[in-house]
Structure 1
Amino acid sequence: MIFETIVTTLSPDGELHLAPMGIRYEGHEVLMMPFKPSRTLDNVLATGKAVLNLTTDVRVFAGCVTGRREWPTIALDGFAGRRLASALTHVELELVKPQDHDVRPILHMRRVGEHAHAAFPGFNRAQAAVIEGAVLVSRLSMLPREKVDAEMLYLQIAIDKTAGPHELEAWEWLTDAADRFHAAQEARA
């Protein structure tokens, strides 16, 4: 089972990077599989640390894949990292073992701290649709346009029925990004 999260990492120079990432739990380990190349991969390999952020603010997911990476964060006490200010829970991770792969290395991470900041109210359908839409937008160059269009059209149903202001804003970012990508593809053809 894959869980969608936001991973925050710091470069060796202390530069913050946020990335949406599907992770897996395996016993007490968290398995991250960033694509090569990626700043998340570089940062974790260089520092051995990452922070897993569990949030219901789906604007962060949509924002990260549409170039909006500036989100409020908070420095952590006793751990070299930052968490999202909107994180309901954050988990401090240390690298146990990197497993190299040509496309998606596996980073075996050990939980060294877990802190709850607010209760998880659950996701509404629009939040789930935004997360799925963010995954599609992050893979526009890998997926056929027909598949993207069909899936976005289906996800629109949940947006129309259950979205609040945050979900509507995030959805607009995603649809604009997909439209711009496809327009650029058509202009090149």
Structure 2
Amino acid sequence: MDLDLTELGIGDGIWEVVATTRSRDGVPNAAPLGLRCREGDLSILVFEPSRTLENILDTGRIGVNILQDPLIFVKSVVGDLDNSYYTDFKGFPVINGAEAWIILEAKLMERGEAYLFTLVPLSARRNFKAAHPVNRGFNAIIEALILATRYSIMDESERDGILRCIEHMEEIVRKCGGDREHEAMAILKGYLHRIQELEDILQ
């Protein structure tokens, strides 16, 4: 199917979603997963051992659930999602109340420490006026921005720690963000550099 990913809030980058899968016996499973998008092509990396990987290999299908509920992300890791959290879309288990669902065919491309699958959309539905997938790159920009605003008021002894934290956030942006996140980080680093230059002049 032709799918405009931007209508679901998905652009280039890695988007944190809750993936749903189904066993051969029809038992649903959910787990957080990074949905990779590059120029409209979707893929995932799945590590073993996991029920998600086993189910994808068995059925060749995966559901992507776009949502921002932290409880569902956490409960999908610790195994506390009972059947009341699931509903059915096109014969496949998805998460109740998600902002959007995508059912995809998963094609195994590489097998190693992690399994790389390319994804082909089969069906999709946006359940609300807009969908807002979680992007770690965007979140890292916000964290780095907060740290940057504190830099000039911190003691010298604390500034190295702030810069190390910002460098860590930059790595997340580089890995998970899209063009706008990369541009935002470049602007933020330029801002910090100007502050440091000004302080050197005034000393």
On whether the aligned pair clears a TM of 0.5, the verdict is yes
- Contact kept, 8 Å, 2:15 with 2:133, in 1: the verdict is no
The structure where helix makes up a greater share of residues is 2
Equivalences for residues 139-154 of structure 1 within 5 A: none
Identity of aligned residues (%): 25
Structure 2 unaligned blocks of 5 or more? 1-12, 141-164, 166-203
Task: Tell whether 2:83 aligns with 1:63.
Answer: no
> What is the root-mean-square deviation of aligned Cα atoms in Å?
3.1
- Contact kept, 8 Å, 1:28 with 1:110, in 2: the verdict is no
Query: 1:25 corresponds to which residue?
Result: 37
TM-score where L is the length of structure 2 = 0.55
Cα distance, 1:118–1:92 mapped onto 2, change above 3 Å: same
Greater gyration radius: 2
Give the number of aligned pairs.
Answer: 129
Letter of the aligned partner of 1:68 in structure 2?
D
Extract structure 1 runs of 4+ deviating beyond 4 A: 121-124
Letter of the aligned partner of 2:62 in structure 1?
A
Aligned partner of residue 56 in structure 1, secondary structure: coil
Query: 1:35 corresponds to which residue?
Result: 47
- Once the two structures are superposed, what CA deviation does each residue of 1:145-175 show, in whole Å capped at 9, x if it has no partner? xxxxxx9xxxxxxxxxxxxxxxxxxxxxxxx
- Once the two structures are superposed, what CA deviation does each residue of 1:52-99 show, in whole Å capped at 9, x if it has no partner? 0001212111112233232511112xx33111112110001012x202
Structure 1 unaligned blocks of 5 or more? 130-150, 152-189
TM-score where L is the length of structure 1 = 0.59
What CA distance in whole angstroms lies between the structure 1 residues aligned with 2:113 and 2:64?
22
